[in-house]
Amino acid sequence: MGNPLPRAAADSERLPSAIALPILSSDALSSVAYATEAALGVLILAGSGALALALPITLAIIALIAIVVLSYRQTIEAYPQGGGSYVVARDNLGTLPALIAAASLLIDYTLTAAVSLMAGTQALSSLLPELLSHETSFALLLLGLVGWANLRGVKEAGRAFALPTYAFVVMVALLAVFGLKDLVLVHGFQPDAPPLFKAVEPLGVFLILRAFSSGCSAMTGIEAIANGVKVFREPSARRARSTMLVMGTMLAAMFLVVSGLGFLYGVAPDPDRTVLAQIGMRAFGSGSVLLWALQITTLLILVLAANTAFAGFPRLAAMLAEDRFLPRQMGWIGDRLVFQNGIGVLVLATALIVVVCQGNTTVAVNLYALGVFSAFSLSQAGMVVRWWKQRGSGWQGRLALNALGALVTTVVLLVIVISKFDEGAWTVVIAIPVLVTLLARIRHRYRQVYAAIALPPGGIDPVQVAVRSEPIGNHSIVWVASLSRPTLDALRYAATVSDQVQGVWVLSEHEDPDAIRRDWDQLIGDDPHLQLCILESPFSSLITPFADFVDAQEEAHPHQTLTIVMPMAVPRYRFDGLLLNQRGINMRQALDARQNRIFTLVRYYLPA
């Protein structure tokens, strides 16, 4: 995916606000392409006359957007290192609410990527009807391109995505200008009557609430900036708060433009042409260059909106892996300084949804607003608890704002669950507790395994290399990833078959070499034949430095027998294979590829 980037380049991969805005806001801004249509699609069930309610519903959602944006600005200030729903709930509400927030967001990010890509293909098929039968294949192709761009790195993705996002914003602004010109000079502000549709359901409070909950899909992606504070250049928190305000303002204005023009032009849902395309045809003219530009930029931003999920899902998965709720490899940083395993999982999950939905956004849109508002509610509730505990300067006003955010988002969440339950929301209602249970079981098993391989607290006999009258002629290099029972067994084995044993530890980003040496000296003692070598990696890989070290030792001592000794915890259960030894397996593959000759595995069998 490109040449490896050194760890020192991580800061240079951070983005200015002008580029971070499109990479983190494309999901929220692009939602104006389908949010109005989602609301109209419900209102039309009550007949053509009910479509006029789209405008007051839009105004209510805009008020909700303002509350949530202002609330998340406070969250960014309180959590300058990144304050998504999982972090806020974990710190203030406890483990179970944090896992509910995490599960909701993981589902939401996956559905966001799928909906955005499928909606993008619909924007193109509105121009080219012959593509209608190929929407699924085209969405999968776009998914591959977005995944590839993200694997290339944050900065490269930002460069690729900035221009289309701003182009879409400009086209919606032109739509507003041309629409107002048309309404003032030609059309007049008397709204057109929409096409006649017979009512199939009565217009009541329940139907209006269903339309409102569908329109709330405009709010997806708002949290991405709070999750991605680390993407911004310093001062990152201040830049993130300003960007959040700009994004909220742009989102509200664009949503109002689309809903307002749709109302005045009497636009109704059409299975073969999107609402935005119909508005563009009225404002720009059918077949005009500006109409094509609107649809192409809509396609691009909807494709790029999936990038918000690619920015948020891997980062959240890495946080969960750090807390041992997901396999540790989900937190590994690839050569391009991105969480490449998280990106890969998201690509596969998104592809599955696209195939199941066959490119149709209707079902998926009904599902993913539920996850969004679950996360919103828990995040705001966590901030209320935080302000109540800390009671710093101005805490009453901060608490009141977050309490208002928690109240309104919880009400909307209940509305979505009730109104959309029969339309597919039941699947998310079931999926969230299932995913929470899975996350909790992973952490429970990790704790069991770590307790089993931990060194006894009372101390152990130090490892020593036997002093022999005649040297064996063998030198052992032991890969040390941690000081544990498997590592100790590997060191003891190496000490029995070698004249010299060298433990090699490759430092990860946050490890303290001085602390490692102290623990080593306490465990091993003072034995000149058993030494520790700590390697630093300029890149993210912890495997390449060890393999390079082995190559250097073989070249420096060509006539000496060199044995590579690796500890390996043998899983008791099949599921343990996903949690253990993944880096060790990669290490063995790397050494095999370099044709190192003598390689020994020292197995440590885990108890049940």
- Written in H, E and C, the secondary structure of 510-530 is CCCHHHHHHHHHHHHCCCCCE
User: How far is it, in rounded angstroms, from Cα 88 to Cα 77?
Assistant: 12
Compute the average pLDDT of residues 407-436.
83
Task: Give the Å distances, CA to CA, from 297 to 42, 62, 137.
Answer: 26, 23, 20
CB 370 within 8 A of CB 216: no
Q: Residue 432: pLDDT above 60?
A: yes
Amino acid making up residue 503: G
pTM, entire model = 0.77
> How does pLDDT run across 385-405, given as a tens digit for each residue?
998 988 888 888 889 988 988
DSSP SS3 for 565: strand
**% residues pLDDT > 70 (the chain):** 88
Q: Which of 121-135, 279-293, 327-341, 408-422 has the highest mean pLDDT?
A: 279-293
Which CATH code is given to the segment(s) 474-605? 3.40.50.620
Task: Give the Å distances, CA to CA, from 39 to 126, 251, 337, 517.
Answer: 19, 16, 40, 62
Exposed e or buried b per residue across 197-223, where buried means at least 16 C-beta atoms within 10 angstroms of its C-beta? beeeeeeeeebbbbbbbbbbbbbbbbb
Q: Residue 174: pLDDT above 90?
A: yes
Q: Residue 7: pLDDT above 60?
A: no
Kindly report, as residue ranges, where domains of CATH 1.20.1740.10 are found in the chain: 7-443
Reported confidence tier of residue 56, pLDDT bands at 50, 70, 90:
very high
Kindly report, as residue ranges, where domains of CATH 3.40.50.620 are found in the chain: 474-605
- Sequence length of the chain is 608
State the chain's mean pLDDT as an integer: 81
Compute the average pLDDT of residues 110-126.
80
Give the other-Cβ count within 10 Å of 76's Cβ. 24
7-443: which CATH architecture? Answer: Up-down Bundle (1.20)
Tokens at 126, concatenated = 């509105």
Q: Residue 211: pLDDT above 70?
A: yes
pLDDT of residue 429: 83
pLDDT of residue 287: 79
Q: Residue 469: pLDDT above 60?
A: no
> How does pLDDT run across 503-528, given as a tens digit for each residue?
888 887 777 888 888 888 877 777 77
- Side-chain-side CA neighbours of 256 within 13 Å: the count stands at 12
